[in-house]
Structure 1
Amino acid sequence: MPYPEQRGNKWRVRWNTGKKHPETGRWLYDSQGGFDSREAAIAYGLDRESDIRNQRYTSRRDGAIPMSEYCRTWQQTLDVGHLRRRNIESFIRLYIEPHWGEMAVADIRPSAYRAWELWLKDQPNIGDRYRNEILLVFSMMMDDAVDDGLRQASPVPKRKRRGKYVKKKKERKRNLRMEDVHQLACNALQFWGFAGYVFQFMIPFTGMRPAELYALRREYCHPAWPAADPLDDPDEEDREERHADDLERYGPSLMPAVRVQWQHQRDSGELKLFPPKYGSRRTLVLPRFLTELLEILLASHEGQYVFPSINGGLLANANFAYHYWRPIADGRGASEEFERVRLGQKQLVDSRRPLPEIPAVASWKGKRQYLLRHGHKEWLDEDGHSRIAVETRMGHEVAGVEGLYANVTPAMEKRIAEALQRRWLEFVRTLPEGWEPPSSPSPLPLDLGEWMKLQVKAARASSD
């Protein structure tokens, strides 16, 4: 039974919350004042006791926890990957805690949330996708606050489709043409060297993600893999059984392939190896021309990683999208002499790494490198390969019964490798007579012009 008390010309009501103080063992009470009559106060208290009996009640004492404290507690409950954790911590540090930190968890109202949502929308430095991620994290926090008994309901409205349908904006893509892929490779040869030439074929012909390529070590790459597989991934529980199957299925004399086992990512500023996105460890069979290029590349250096950077270091340490991909896709002017002052004297000097003019690849100017991976799936779909083989190669899981029953067979993989090789041969047949590669800033480990003549010869022989 609630306890009404008169305070001046108003009434206050107290009720038992059903909880005891953890130290004294005494019952804890909540109260509410400002009622005009004793009956109104008692009615309010009876409603609260009903909420307590039906487990709908949120104590004002519990909901008084400030958001700044709840932010710190909530982050400790996250069980996500390091990149997702870093993003969530960034959202909280930059946008959630500065705005809501001093407010009690229970005091956040839907109207205040809507005002904050509009404020985020007005910020010129926050895009739609980034804003939606911030709001998603805040919504998760409020849902958990309800589960923790700090609120009765979330202030974030449940999204319902109402009104006119607005189609989401979709990035415009063009068909991946073999001519463009080869021009990108030639640009990479001029800008980076032979490693760049081979690198530019890897994404469109294997579908690997950039971070997976940065972390590709020679023991996971043809011709060393699978014999050289170090089995160094403790999270892969069946690695011994998987390796035994790989030895029977892959290899230079069977099906040349690379193993996607790791990717390079940063954790607290330190570059580390992590499993690939979504744990998508997989094996990728290679077309014959690419196996030859990889063999030549690996024989040309002794580094641990297949693709060294321009200065021979880790490719993951470079800002690849800006310092490598943009000049390769967008082109750049020839290196020019520049003036500097040294020891008080003006000097006209050449660049330490002089390069000729690199032409832009028109259909890739301003485009993301990641679209080359999209293009790989486009090619596989064009050639009519099994859906399970395509999605597995892309590192995706097929949901439902189809994914449960399906399996990628050696025959499926062989057809993929042969189709990719045919695509390459069909292209090299179109090269002009006497094609010569562009210059490279470093010595090539082979006569690329002569190697291409052999590819053209093989292409013409296959068409006869």
Structure 2
Amino acid sequence: MAKRALDVYTEWRGGTCRVKWWTGAYHPNGRKRFESKGGFEDEEVAYQHGLDQMHDIRHGVQVSNRDGATLMDDWLDEWLASMDHGHLTERAYQSRVKAHIRPYFGRRTVGEIDVLACRAFHKDLKSKLAPKSAQNVMTLLGMIMDDAVPTLIKTSPVERKRSRGRFTRKPRERKKDMLPEAVEQLARNAKLLFGLPGYAFIWTMAMTGMRPGELYGLTREYCYPNWPASDPKGDRAELERYEEDAERYGREADGQLPAIRVERQVQYADGKVQFFPPKYGSTRTLVIPPFLADLLERVLESHDSKWVFPSMTGVCLIATGFDTNYWRVIANGAEERTGYRMHHPRPAIPAVPAYAGRRLYLLRHGAKTWLDEDGHSRYAVETRMGHDVPGVEGVYSSVTVAMEQMIAKKLQERWETLQDRMGQSGTASVSHSFPMED
């Protein structure tokens, strides 16, 4: 064995040259731990390789043979265990790893996965999945391989999408104006399906822009007229916030603003419905117009469920497969259902053309559009939608009582204008005579 430099050695074995270098670590017995690479035909090339490894070790970018040989299966387990994301995000990542990444790469070492392997994987995904779904999996793989740098690999083999040539605008969903008449028809369809809570559910989403999971999980203590008097206090870190809410929100007759508190959402976890913080931790207070305050009060009087909007069987709406079993019927319409075998007979439900075949989430989009049309401040609008406003605007701005009063006033005017239009067209007025249970 020839010693060419401190801690770098070369030797010829079987007609080829091998180089050994010190990893900077020690064995339990105190001896230096070396790694090696063979197969060189030129001793100078082998020696230079050893020096390169020592350089990388000194600069903290060297990947040991042992680390590079880590199985992707083991690295995926370690990566998933280190996640700290929202419940839905973690569930999506786990699903993509289980369905696509682990079956394809699991038995390979992390060091074996190169650019060509990732391209082949992407091609395989595109043959099985929609383009957006395939890209979501590749984005996740990129995150996983990025986190393997520099411990297990020097650079990530996942290629980043780069724009080349002429700019192409991404296709966007074309949205129609959210007309109050269409919302009213959706609400009446929902009332035919699951009673007064259904009617209130639609109007609450249109007037507040709450996310579906937040509406499904809205419980009595966070709904008008109970909140904020019923706010669970306990050992509160937000005592100052609570005291301000108790002064600012409540019954209109007491000079306060009727409001709903978005404190949580519901999602499935471990096979059961559980509470989680709202998306992006966007807890917030939503003032509501007088007509909606009256409607919600009557809804709570009409049932004894803990859910403000219980299903027709009294359970949380998320447990019903809402999109399939409720929303599609509400938006697309359905034939009359009768007969003694039917647990829940109902009359025919008319389709609402503006929403037939479209997403429930568009009601949230429409709620923001109404706020924009009414000219409210950007900060007040984004805060109401549960978004953070970046930059100096987000630091210096706040939502004042006057802003909230104006939001409630404008939303009430939309409702009253709808009454006038429906009355003039010969349609039964929807004033404060809300549809009651049959």
After TM superposition, the score normalised by the length of structure 2 is 0.92
- Confirm whether residue 71 of structure 1 aligns to residue 76 of structure 2: yes
Shift of 1:364: 0.5
Secondary structure at 2:354 match in 1: helix
Shift of 1:211: 1.0
| Partner residue, 2:106 | 101
Shift of 1:449: 8.4
Shift of 1:436: 4.5
| Partner residue, 2:237 | 237
Shift of 1:53: 2.6
The equivalences for 1:405-416 within 5 A come to 405-416=396-407
The partner residue of 2:228 within 226, 240, 252 is 226
| Partner residue, 1:451 | 433
CA distance in 1, matches of 2:54, 2:315: 68
CA distance in 1, matches of 2:46, 2:432: 95
Shift of 1:270: 1.9
CA distance in 1, matches of 2:267, 2:35: 50
The equivalences for 1:34-433 within 5 A come to 34-123=39-128, 126-147=129-150, 149-231=151-233, 237-238=237-238, 240-252=239-251, 253=254, 254-335=256-337, 350-432=341-423
| Greater CA drift, 86-95 or 377-386 | 86-95
Residue type at the aligned position of 2:242: H
Residue type at the aligned position of 2:171: K
Write the deviation string for residues 291-318 of structure 1: whole angstroms up to 9, x where unpaired. 1111111111222121111012222211
Shift of 1:153: 1.0
- Confirm whether residue 6 of structure 1 aligns to residue 8 of structure 2: no
After TM superposition, the score normalised by the length of structure 1 is 0.87
Contact residue 214 and residue 315 of structure 1 kept, 8 A: yes
Contact residue 21 and residue 50 of structure 2 kept, 8 A: yes
Write the deviation string for residues 376-396 of structure 1: whole angstroms up to 9, x where unpaired. 000000010111111111111
CA distance in 2, matches of 1:315, 1:160: 42
CA distance in 1, matches of 2:275, 2:59: 50
CA distance in 2, matches of 1:212, 1:41: 63
Contact residue 67 and residue 102 of structure 1 kept, 8 A: yes
CA 1:450–1:86: 2 relative to 1, 3 Å: closer
Contact residue 419 and residue 431 of structure 2 kept, 8 A: no
Secondary structure at 2:18 match in 1: strand
Which segments of 5 or more consecutive residues in structure 2 lack a partner in the other structure? none
Contact residue 334 and residue 357 of structure 1 kept, 8 A: yes
Secondary structure at 2:266 match in 1: strand
Contact residue 435 and residue 449 of structure 1 kept, 8 A: no
| Greater CA drift, 183-192 or 320-329 | 183-192
Residue type at the aligned position of 2:44: E
Contact residue 436 and residue 449 of structure 1 kept, 8 A: no
Write the deviation string for residues 197-249 of structure 1: whole angstroms up to 9, x where unpaired. 111101111111111111111121111111111236x7x731x2111101211
Among all aligned residue pairs of Structure 1 and Structure 2, give the percentage whose two residues are the same amino acid: 45
Write the deviation string for residues 160-211 of structure 1: whole angstroms up to 9, x where unpaired. 3223323222111111001100111111122221111111101111111111
Corresponding pairs, count:
425
Residue type at the aligned position of 1:384: G
CA distance in 1, matches of 2:412, 2:384: 16
